[in-house]
């Protein structure tokens, strides 16, 4: 029996790669630069039954000639790199990797909250540069995290995990804004649903976890930062596109808000000349939300399982739904 052909563009541990080889004929593009423009990759798409990888845009133009494609297995929870309407139109199954990265990404959110509040990166660089020459004075003080008010925008799996850390670990009051209410989360955390404007007025920390979609693109602009006020710390672990980046830069430069902790940006990698790379009141990370050995292995393992099951005509463990 002829094995189906799959394209791999994500580095896998040897054991996971061996599982793919057991089931499929694998075309490996995991070390190919500028993948969307690579002629061999584009030619391979014409015959592939499945693809497994992340961070490569696959839309109508890229997939128009992929006549045999049955399934895409993304090593990510976010699926904004894919034209989901086109995939539905073509009957191409889309799988992703929710759940396995929830706790790690929530850890990253709290890392950003603590680092931005206590000015950890800024002050650590002074130590490294030999600039710590006297006791820390008021000019170098940060602000507390414990006991403060956390507003979460997007109460999915990750938002709920952040809320648990806040409520039970740091005794924070938690409120949230979401397109639908979550009674279980409200009961567990004592969290209150608020309108977005009300949430921004109320919160000391605003943490964004929404997926990138047309409804959330540019969700945070000048008006939203103005509403937050000069004591608020803004945290974004979702996607850069949910923020009007020039408006955020202006708010930070003008101290319209206190600080920001950012793991995602409109352009990634973040250009070195971006003000977000040099402002003292910004903690900028290189999109490390799920970047631990354990979590990335679990994500890749789930992606392999998804592709094997999908191409065998069975229900995969994590098929993406438009309702997600």
Our answer to whether residue 315 is catalytic in this structure is: no
C-beta of residue 237 within 8 angstroms of C-beta of residue 209: yes
Distance CA 189, CA 292 (A): 27
In the set 258, 287, 296, 309, the catalytic residue is 287
According to the model, what pLDDT value does residue 135 have? 94
Candidate list 46, 268, 294, 315, residue with the active-site label = 268
Q: Is the pLDDT of residue 323 over 80?
A: no
**The predicted structure's pLDDT at residue 7:** 98
Q: CA 306, 159, 103, 292 torsion: positive or negative? A: positive
Write down the pLDDT at residue 1: 66
Beta bridge partners of 219: none
What pLDDT is attached to residue 30?
A: 95
Distances (CA, A) of 86 to 11, 82, 94, 124, 181: 27, 9, 11, 48, 29
pLDDT tier for residue 2 given thresholds of 50, 70 and 90: confident
- Supply the pLDDT for residue 324: 56
The overall average pLDDT reported for the chain is 96
CB crowding 112-135: b at 16 or more within 10 Å, else e: bbebbbebeebbeeeeeeeeeeee
For 272-316, write each residue's pLDDT tens digit: 999 999 999 999 999 999 999 999 999 999 999 999 999 999 999
Q: How far apart are CA 235 and CA 308, in angstroms?
A: 37
Across the strands, what pairs with 175? 151, 192
Q: Evaluate if residue 150 carries a pLDDT over 80.
A: yes
Q: Identify the H or E element spanning 190.
A: none
Using CA atoms, how far residue 280 sits from 248, 251, 302, in Å, is: 14, 13, 39
User: Between β-strands 50-53 and 71-74, what pairing exists: parallel, antiparallel or unpaired?
Assistant: parallel
User: Does the domain at residues 102-284 carry the CATH identifier 3.40.50.720?
Assistant: yes
Residue percentage of the chain with pLDDT more than 70:
99
Q: What is the mean pLDDT of residues 251-269?
A: 98
Give ∠ CA 143-148-153 in degrees, rounded to 5. Answer: 110
| Mean pLDDT to the nearest integer, 261-280 | 97
Domains 5-98+294-311 and 102-284 alike in fold: yes
**Radius of gyration for the alpha carbons in the chain, expressed in angstroms and rounded:** 22
What pLDDT, in 10s, does the model give residues 88-101?
Answer: 999 999 999 999 99
Specify whether 287 is catalytic.
yes
For residues 302 and 100, the answer to whether their CB atoms sit within 8 Å is yes
Quote the CA–CA distance of 199 and 213 in Å, as a whole number. Answer: 21
Q: Which helix (H) or strand (E) covers residue 43, if one does?
A: helix 39-45
pLDDT at 322 over 90: no
Quote the CA–CA distance of 269 and 247 in Å, as a whole number: 19
Q: Which of 58, 81, 60, 106 has its CA nearest to residue 213?
A: 81
Catalytic residue among 239, 245, 258, 296: 239
DSSP-derived secondary structure for 290-305: T-SHHHHHHHHHHHHH
Looking at residue 264, what DSSP letter applies? -
Query: Stretch 252-278: mean pLDDT, rounded?
Result: 97
Question: Is position 239 annotated as part of the catalytic site?
Answer: yes
Please compute the mean of the pLDDT values over residues 94-115 and round it to a whole number: 97
Sign of the Cα torsion 217, 119, 233, 98 reads positive
pLDDT digits (tens, 9 = 90+) for 156-176: 999 999 999 999 999 999 999
Q: How far apart are CA 262 and CA 320, in angstroms?
A: 26
The pLDDT of residue 27 is above 60: yes
Domain parsing of the chain, residue ranges: 5-98+294-311, 102-284
CATH class of 5-98+294-311: alpha beta
pTM as predicted: 0.92
Q: Which has more confidence, 322 or 155?
A: 155
DSSP per position, 231-246 = T-EEEE-S-GGGB-HH
């Amino acid at each position: 029996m002829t094995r189906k052909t799959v394209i791999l563009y994500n580095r896998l541990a040897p054991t996971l790669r061996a599982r793919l080889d057991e089931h499929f004929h694998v075309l490996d593009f995991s070390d190919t630069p500028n993948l969307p423009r690579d002629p061999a990759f584009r030619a391979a798409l014409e015959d592939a039954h499945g693809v497994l990888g992340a961070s490569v845009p696959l839309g109508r133009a890229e997939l128009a000639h992929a006549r045999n494609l049955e399934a895409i297995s993304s090593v990510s929870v976010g699926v904004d790199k894919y034209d989901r309407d086109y995939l539905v139109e073509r009957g191409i199954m889309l799988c992703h990797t929710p759940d396995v990265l929830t706790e790690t990404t929530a850890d990253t959110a709290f890392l950003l909250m603590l680092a931005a509040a206590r000015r950890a990166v800024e002050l650590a660089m002074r130590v490294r540069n030999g600039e710590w020459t006297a006791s820390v004075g008021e000019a170098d003080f940060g602000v507390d995290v414990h006991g403060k008010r956390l507003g979460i925008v997007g109460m999915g799996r990750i938002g709920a995990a952040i809320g648990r850390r806040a409520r039970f670990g740091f005794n924070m009051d938690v409120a949230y804004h979401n397109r639908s209410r979550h009674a279980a989360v409200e009961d567990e955390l004592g969290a209150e649903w608020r309108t977005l404007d009300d949430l921004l007025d109320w919160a000391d920390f605003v943490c964004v976890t929404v997926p990138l979609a047309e409804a959330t693109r540019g969700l945070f602009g000048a008006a939203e930062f103005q509403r937050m006020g000069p004591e608020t710390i803004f945290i974004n672990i979702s996607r850069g596109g949910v923020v009007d980046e020039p408006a955020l830069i202006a708010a930070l430069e003008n101290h319209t808000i206190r600080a920001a902790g950012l793991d995602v940006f409109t352009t990634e990698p973040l250009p070195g000349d971006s003000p977000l790379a040099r402002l003292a009141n910004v903690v900028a990370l290189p999109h490390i939300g799920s970047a631990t050995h354990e979590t990335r292995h679990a994500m890749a393992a789930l992606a392999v399982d998804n592709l094997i099951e999908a191409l065998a005509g069975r229900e995969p463990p994590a098929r993406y739904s438009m309702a997600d």
